[in-house]
Amino acid sequence: MPARVVVLYNPPKDPAAFERYYAATHLPLLYANAAEIGYTKAEFVKFTTGLDGSAPALYRKAELTFASMDALKKGTSTNGFKKVAGDLANFATGGVAAYVGDETNRQ
């Protein structure tokens, strides 16, 4: 079963600066290390509102999918992943929460 790394970003102090850095530096760093990390899919979400139209409690979500938990463990132990994770402090001024999980979909 696939496994995932999910990073949830709290609202940053300066959203425009966050977006500039994210697009120009952080995502290119991730893509440059993608082969070493070994994820199979990357998804990025910028939250706009809550379902009720209120301001969202979270700002963004990044989700990396790996073929298995073993592949995730191997990928997150690489120098490439450590570079990407270490870059978070350079722009995620609102803080982040990062999680690892197994897919539980049953079809």
pLDDT in tens, 82-95: 999 999 999 999 99
Output the pTM of the full model: 0.93
Range of the domain at 60: 3-12+21-102
Distance CA 22, CA 29 (A): 10
d(CA 32, CA 77): 16
CA angle 9, 68, 41 (to 5 degrees): 50
- Give the CATH number, domain containing residue 56: 3.30.70.100
What is d(CA 33, CA 39) in angstroms, rounded to the nearest whole number?
Answer: 10
Nearest to 58 by CA among 49, 66, 71: 49
User: What token pair was written down for 26?
Assistant: 């952080």
Mean pLDDT of the chain: 96
Which run of H or E residues covers position 15? helix 15-21
Taking the C-alpha atoms of residue 102 and residue 21, their distance in angstroms, rounded to an integer, is 30
| Higher-scoring residue by pLDDT: 56, 105 | 56
Residue 107: inside a domain: no
Q: How large a percentage of the chain has pLDDT more than 90?
A: 95
Tell me if 34 is assigned to some domain.
Answer: yes
